[in-house]
Copies of this chain bind each other. A is one copy, B any other.
């Protein structure tokens, strides 16, 4: 089943303790689609400037990512420049140039409007709400967000929560949104506003999935070398939504596996700059990493 993502298609310049990358492809929709396309076809809606190296998206097109919804506007593409120091959990933003992204108004092409799975990447919640008026009864809608929108567009974001089935956000964002330091309480607060499914990502510390009746925890894969954390969260979301779109199964057992596939894709993303590692991953490697995650937490209960 097809999977629609709306988000940023950007150019990143990143510095980590292990190297530098300058003007490489990035953005939430790019990482998401690079990740999800390991499992399913992806349709992207976004905007780039006339300076964007479209040829670098070719490998994704080959994998079944459809960029027909990416508008080419006059002007410069969204650029982000950031740095990670010793603590790879914290990105330091050095520069943000919104460029054509500052006037982004998502237009969903007619052939994308009946996508059963929709992911609203981290953009203005007013635009995320607007996307929902353009699509036809998806089977599952999930959204992401960030500190900037929680601060500047709180009312719109809370309104959005009433219209999505699921949300992915990180622990800091969950605390900021809900004013609850405790993540169990934060998830309950968010669920009370609408979403049946709350996924709280904790980077190297794994991720929780909360539903009204259950809690699931997926560990992060313990890598020896984390090279560049950029895009890990969007890659997680891509693995999660990709699994659901591939199987069409929304049972608890399937949702749990989807979170594991999200964790696995997040762990691949950080092994190289940009989407380089994601482009190498195939279904077999993904299944192998999911099996490693299974081994990582497996234990047999004591017989009473």
Residues of A within 8 A of B (CB): 86-88, 181-185, 202, 205-206, 208, 214-219, 222-226, 253, 256-257, 259-260, 287, 290-291, 294-302, 304
- Interface centre among A205, A208, A218, by most B CB within 10 Å? A205
Q: Which residue from B216, B226, B287, B296 sits with its C-beta under 8 Å from A217?
A: B296
Residues of B within 8 A of A294 (CB): 299, 301
Across the interface, do A206 and B208 meet the contact criterion of CB distance under 8 Å? no
Across the interface, do A290 and B301 meet the contact criterion of CB distance under 8 Å? yes
Q: Which residue from B216, B222, B304 sits with its C-beta under 8 Å from A183?
A: B222
The 6 closest A-B pairs by CB, nearest first: A205-B205, A256-B299, A297-B297, A217-B219, A184-B224, A217-B296
Residues of B within 8 A of A253 (CB): 299-300
- Known: A205-B206, A219-B206, A219-B219. Contact between A299 and B182, CB under 8 A? no
- A300 to chain B: closest residue by CB: B253
Residues of B within 8 A of A86 (CB): 181
- Known: A253-B300, A260-B299, A302-B257. Contact between A185 and B219, CB under 8 A? no
Across the interface, do A287 and B304 meet the contact criterion of CB distance under 8 Å? yes
Q: Which residue from B216, B226, B299 sits with its C-beta under 8 Å from A299?
A: B216
List 11 A-B pairs, Cβ < 8 Å.
Answer: A184-B222, A184-B223, A202-B205, A208-B222, A215-B296, A219-B219, A253-B299, A253-B300, A257-B300, A290-B301, A294-B301
Q: How far does the Cβ of A207 sit from chain B's closest Cβ, in whole Å?
A: 11
- Known: A217-B219, A219-B297, A296-B216. Contact between A224 and B302, CB under 8 A? no
Q: How far does the Cβ of A250 sit from chain B's closest Cβ, in whole Å?
A: 15
| CA distance in complex: A290, B304 (Å) | 12
Q: How far does the Cβ of A297 sit from chain B's closest Cβ, in whole Å?
A: 4
Q: How far does the Cβ of A239 sit from chain B's closest Cβ, in whole Å?
A: 13
Q: How far does the Cβ of A115 sit from chain B's closest Cβ, in whole Å?
A: 23
- A256 to chain B: closest residue by CB: B299
- A182 to chain B: closest residue by CB: B224
- Known: A217-B297, A257-B302, A299-B257. Contact between A224 and B185, CB under 8 A? yes
Residues of B within 8 A of A295 (CB): 214
| CA distance in complex: A222, B86 (Å) | 28
| CA distance in complex: A217, B182 (Å) | 22
Residues of B within 8 A of A87 (CB): 181
| CA distance in complex: A287, B304 (Å) | 9
| CA distance in complex: A277, B300 (Å) | 26
